[in-house]
Structure 1
């Protein structure tokens, strides 16, 4: 079972990433782009995800993943029930979301320093 603490340290350590609180909700940004956000009760993690792949992700595991509200469907976004994720899976989702918003050279540098994936 993953918890917000499993990704907080990672979100703070990723290059160009920083935490912000918006209306009491923790979000991680690169510049002004939010790539991870938590619900007020910290039970749900929203994260950047390729729009054309999200239906398959949700269909493959509807207990863990869900689509955003209809008004947010225009964004590259998916929600995950943190209790249904293991900590390593949560960290991997965060890193993949972060990769969507940073330059490729920053992502490649991360791979060089973390050859075994997110720690």
Structure 2
């Protein structure tokens, strides 16, 4: 049986993602992905140790996050080699940080006009 905080964490991440201009949720690979104009900017993966949100990160920041907080961040399979980073959503998630990571990822993926509508 899933931990009771898991659905709440995923719902909270969903609200953050879908608040962005033209953001849409599409289930892919049996997991929610969040897109802008069909380009993924965030996704949720679940594993035995709980859900994690995956984000696109600018060059160099994946390594910084992994070194600074390896208990919260990890290099996700499949997309980690492209600089994506994953944030564990178990325990005491810093939701302000999660929202900032979502916005940054969105700005990296979205067309310039839409990206400009999202504050850093």
Pairwise TM-score range, normalised by the shorter structure = 0.7 to 0.9
Contact in 1 for aligned 2:107/2:116 (Cα 8 Å):
no
Residue 89 of structure 1 is matched in structure 2 by: 97
1:100 and 2:104 equivalent? Answer: no
2: distance between equivalents of 1:63 and 1:108? 32
Residue 87 of structure 2 is matched in structure 1 by: 80
2: distance between equivalents of 1:72 and 1:109? 26
Question: How far is the alpha carbon of 1:19 from its aligned partner?
Answer: 0.2
SS of the residue corresponding to residue 34 of structure 1 reads: strand
Q: CA RMSD in A?
A: 2.2
TM-score w.r.t. structure 2 length?
0.78
TM-score w.r.t. structure 1 length?
0.79
2: distance between equivalents of 1:73 and 1:86? 22
2: distance between equivalents of 1:68 and 1:110? 25
Q: What are the ranges of 5 or more consecutive residues in structure 1 without an aligned counterpart?
A: 112-116
Residue 14 of structure 2 is matched in structure 1 by: 8
2: distance between equivalents of 1:58 and 1:106? 29
Q: What are the ranges of 5 or more consecutive residues in structure 2 without an aligned counterpart?
A: none
Show the 5 A alignment for 1:1-119. Answer: 3-40=9-46, 43-69=51-77, 71-83=78-90, 84-111=92-119
CA deviation profile, 1:59-87 (whole Å, cap 9, x unmatched): 00000001122x43332311111125222
Alignment CA distance shift 1:31-1:109 (3 Å): closer
